[in-house]
Amino acid sequence: MPETGVQSAHIHERAGKTLGDVRLQEAYKSSTLRLYTHRLQAMSEVPGFDSLRDRARAIKAEVIEHLDEYLAEFADSVERQGGKVHWAETAEEVCGAVRRIAEAAGVREFVKSKTMVGEEVELNEALESAGIRGIETDLGELIIQLAGERPAHIVAPAIHKTRQDVAELFADHLHSERTTEPERLTAIARRALREAFSRAGLGVSGANFAVAETGTIVLVENEGNIRLCTTAPRVHVALVGIEKIIPRFKDLAVFLRLLGRSGTGQKLTAYTSLLSGPRRDSEDGPAEMHVVLVDNGRVRTLSDEKMRESLYCIRCGACLNACPVYRKIGGHAYGWVYSGPIGALITPEFNGISQARELPFASSLCGACREVCPVRINIPDLLLHLRGKAQTQHAPAASGAPRGEKFSMQLWAWAMKRPRAYEWGSRLARLAQRFWQRGQWIPKAPVFPMSRWTDQRDFPALASRTFRERWKKRPGG
């Protein structure tokens, strides 16, 4: 069973583990760079990509500002199409609703497609304790379910697993031959999942978008498992975060063009499913369709005018692939189901700042996330806002920054106001660094707090000549 609850307080230990594992470092680096490069390529093929982003942002802003009205419209549209709407304020209420639906249908096993809301509310664990077993059908989700882990990436949950890892997991849990050939591994998963689809009486999905005008649930994927999850079982349940609403059907054209390209660099994902209510006469599909509208911290986020912007997110994962911190520390370091820059925003918001006050600080604020975000969320700005919240609403017992950091900053501020002292200080520092300097870097600093820095990475050595010295020596200086 994967760990449960928010574990963000352990970010330093967890990050240390990833940083010390060469195989994990390589897996994160190669996968994120591949997705990042594909995105750049896909963007360059669409004239006016930036205006598309502006349009998407404007639509999201409109929805979030009038969310109550759009939610009511969506719920009416779903019921008009023959679906049933359930409102859930907490994770327990979400799991309770799905459990009651499963029990009413007499189901002891359900198939599940990739849903981050399902991960967030720990649906599998909750239903398992009620004797109802969930089987993940997305290949990446199946891999991490067998490994007993949480997703390491919003879009690619098993981004950190190698073929060898998957071969071991399949051999141990699915009792298959031990092979590292991708085609054979996929065939093994397909065989196991086909049996699950044929047995299951209930399919659970998430939703990429939920159209208020028509009550349509929109799902994108590359494997086809979502199609089976939502149509083969007699009952379908869609878990929908309330921020997934878009107003009109025609708005989909904007978001679908952005989502695939931003997430994986695809023009469109291989399958796009539009589901409007249960089956009609003479149609295939589920006899019942339930939509669970999930709050679980989103209304609290809405109440903070600044943080509201984080609800524009369409979960494309582009900010993770661009983030230099995520690339190094990996998804599990963030301690919950959402990782990377967007995880650092919504984990404290959805769970309360006291649960994840460390996350807003896990950023260099370089702005790479803002550059790639298809809905232009100003992530660094929101992280700074959350840092303020963390300090004012949930300062640690010692209050504020560690003493070493405070002392360094005070010393720095003192020297910056005294040019002579600054000059002599930097001369002394340059002399002292010679003992530890290797080329342009200091790989191991001898004193705290610098030694904390060089535990994980090299420190750039001071330049041999200061700016002032170079300025004086310039021609005509």
| Positions in the binding site for ligand SF4 (CB under 6 A) | 154, 313-319, 342, 372-375, 377
Closest CA to 207 of 137, 268, 269, 291: 291
Shortest CB 140 distance to ligand SF4, Å: 16
Residues found in the chain: 477
Give the nearer residue to ligand SF4 in terms of CB position, either 154 or 207.
154
Give the nearer residue to ligand SF4 in terms of CB position, either 98 or 375.
375
Shortest CB 213 distance to ligand SF4, Å: 22
Give the nearer residue to ligand SF4 in terms of CB position, either 200 or 372.
372
Give the nearer residue to ligand SF4 in terms of CB position, either 192 or 311.
311
Cα 451 off chain centre by: 31
For 187, the enclosing helix (H) or strand (E) is helix 182-199
Beta pairing class for 441-442 and 459-460: antiparallel
d(CA 161, CA 144): 9
- Provide φ and ψ at 276, rounded to 5°: -125, 90
Give the nearer residue to ligand SF4 in terms of CB position, either 215 or 263.
263
d(CA 124, CA 58): 36
| For the chain, counts of helices (H) and of strands (E) | 22, 12
Half-sphere exposure of 294 (CA within 13 A, CB side): 31
Give the nearer residue to ligand SF4 in terms of CB position, either 53 or 86.
53
Shortest CB 32 distance to ligand SF4, Å: 13
Shortest CB 254 distance to ligand SF4, Å: 13
d(CA 404, CA 316): 39
Give the nearer residue to ligand SF4 in terms of CB position, either 215 or 343.
343
Give the nearer residue to ligand SF4 in terms of CB position, either 107 or 323.
323
Shortest CB 257 distance to ligand SF4, Å: 14
d(CA 372, CA 380): 12
Shortest CB 332 distance to ligand SF4, Å: 17
Closest CA to 244 of 265, 270, 204, 216: 216
Shortest CB 439 distance to ligand SF4, Å: 36
Closest CA to 98 of 231, 303, 288, 253: 288
Beta bridge partners, 323, equal none
Shortest CB 370 distance to ligand SF4, Å: 9
Shortest CB 149 distance to ligand SF4, Å: 20
Q: What letter does residue 8 receive in the DSSP assignment?
A: G
- Provide φ and ψ at 265, rounded to 5°: 85, 15
Give the nearer residue to ligand SF4 in terms of CB position, either 289 or 294.
294
Beta bridge partners, 459, equal 442
d(CA 3, CA 9): 14
Q: Give residues with Cβ within 8 angstroms of 109, minimum separation 6.
A: 132, 133, 134, 135, 196, 199, 200, 201, 202
Shortest CB 315 distance to ligand SF4, Å: 5
Give the nearer residue to ligand SF4 in terms of CB position, either 83 or 317.
317
